[in-house]
Amino acid sequence: MQKVFDALIDGYLLDKVGISENFLGLTLSQNLKENLVKLFEEKKLISAKTGNGNETNLNALVRSDKIFWLDRINENPNENAFFDVMDAFVLFLNQTCYTGITSYEFHYALYEKGSFYKKHLDQFKSNASRQYTMIFYLNTDWKLDDGGELCVYLPDFSINISPTNGKCVFFKSSEIEHEVLMSHAQRMSITGWFRVD
């Protein structure tokens, strides 16, 4: 994994946004996608809110995705394999970049046709614990006209990142505004944050 970790961070340091085309590997990505599809079919996903703590808000005009939080307590072998990779990545970040990461949180996200998430920052105004955002895409056979790009706003320009299968995106939660453009097909991902608590 060292080469994969190095390549992602090299891209982040160069462009403020790191991108890896196969961070988790195709087998784990496929298994996680199957988990997400099963959770969706079992109606276990909930409508996502904005805000944190006691100040959360359900506003479909801002975001219209559905989520389910990953947790080792679920005792799902694929989620636990994912967390094993995240534990190794945290160790890498702390040893090579001196980030001081103490925890993380991740959820599945499913955007149905017509869903989106308006421009925002991932770090809360009332809580600065989220340091880095990481997104993993689980969309096989994604086509250009399916939309659903991640639009990332950099100081002088913006870039659109297609949510193709296996792709991973990494950036600073407090610095990079971004949005999910309207999806014209079912769009699946895992999104999360590395924290300093």
The string of DSSP codes covering 78-107 is HHHHHHHHHHHHHHHHHHHS-----EEEEE
CATH number for the 2-48+63-195 domain, one of 2.20.28.120, 2.40.110.10, 2.60.120.620, 1.10.10.10? Answer: 2.60.120.620
**Collapsed DSSP state (helix, strand, coil) of residue 157:** coil
Neighbours of 106 (CB within 10 A): 20
Residue 51's pLDDT band, with cuts at 50, 70 and 90, is: low
- pLDDT (tens digit per residue) in 103-133: 999 999 999 999 999 999 998 877 899 999 9
Tokens linked to 38: 């099963």
154, burial (CB in 10 Å: exposed 0-12, middle 13-18, buried 19+):
middle
The dihedral over CA atoms of 150, 155, 158, 159, expressed in degrees to the nearest 10, equals -60
Arithmetic mean of pLDDT, 137-148: 96
CA 33 – CA 35 distance, rounded (Å): 5
Q: What is the pTM of this model?
A: 0.94
Backbone φ and ψ for 159, nearest 5 degrees, come out as: -130, 145
H or E element that contains 33: helix 26-41
| Amino acid letter for position 129 | S
Domain boundaries, the chain: 2-48+63-195
Mean pLDDT of the chain: 93
Residue 61's pLDDT band, with cuts at 50, 70 and 90, is: confident
